[in-house]
Amino acid sequence: MQVHHILKNKADDGVVTVPPGTSLREAAKILSERRIGTVVISADGIEAQGILSERDIVRVLSMRGAACLDTNVDDVMTKSLQTCTRTDQADAVLQRMTDGRFRHMPVVEDGKLVGLITLGDAVKARLTELAAEKDALESMVSNSW
């Protein structure tokens, strides 16, 4: 299954972005209100400059305390983004996320942000593929007599 199939099946294929200069406090509020685990940092909502996850916020909170909430996302975000394209295979993306120990991957094409997939999205896609393969094999076995 390709990434574009995952995006097509998501209830909300939009990507929540915040501009550089946004405070961690505001980013945390957005994560909480939207019930999401990450925001992409983008000045224009098109080009991804970084990504900020709940884990990033927790990590900096544990090191600096609550005063860090006034820090800009620019200072905490992951700047070297791991991205994929719509034509990438879901199992390859799942492997990259597992190996890199991260849960969110922006989907980028021609330098433009076109979606975001989560580890859960990739796992669900893989389980769907495995279930279809199992059903096909069972059908072949039961119809061969």
> CB–CB of 24/57 below 8 Å?
yes
- 142 confidence band (pLDDT: 50, 70, 90): confident
Domain ranges of the chain: 3-143
Residues whose CB is less than 8 angstroms from the CB of residue 68 and which lie 6 or more positions away in sequence, other chains included: 24, 60, 61, 76
- Which helix or strand (DSSP H or E) is residue 121 part of? helix 119-143
Query: Within 10 Å of residue 81's Cβ, how many Cβ atoms?
Result: 17
Question: Are the CB atoms for 17 and 113 separated by under 8 Å?
Answer: yes
When pLDDT is averaged across residues 84-113 and rounded to a whole number, the result is: 94
What is residue 73's predicted lDDT score, i.e. its pLDDT?
97
- Three-state DSSP class for 134? helix
pLDDT at position 37, please?
Answer: 94
Whether the Cβ atoms of residue 41 and residue 77 lie closer than 8 Å to each other = yes
Q: Average pLDDT for residues 117-144, to the nearest whole number?
A: 83
Strands (E), 11-93: 17-18, 38-41, 50-53
- Predicted confidence at residue 46, as pLDDT, reads 93
Q: Look-up: residue for tokens 């791991």? A: 82
Superfamily of domain 3-143: CBS-domain (3.10.580.10)
pLDDT surpasses 60 at 107: yes
**Pairing status of strand 112-118 against strand 104-109:** antiparallel
For the chain, give the percent of residues with pLDDT over 70.
Answer: 97
pLDDT at site 100: 93
For 6-64, what is each residue's pLDDT tens digit?
998 887 768 999 999 999 999 999 999 999 999 999 999 999 999 999 999 999 999 99
Ramachandran angles phi, psi of 84, nearest 5°:
-135, 175
More confident residue, 128 or 56: 56
145: confidence class by pLDDT, cuts 50, 70, 90: low
Q: How far apart are CA 39 and CA 22, in angstroms?
A: 11
* Mean pLDDT, rounded, for 55-79: 95
Which token pair is 48?
């991804």
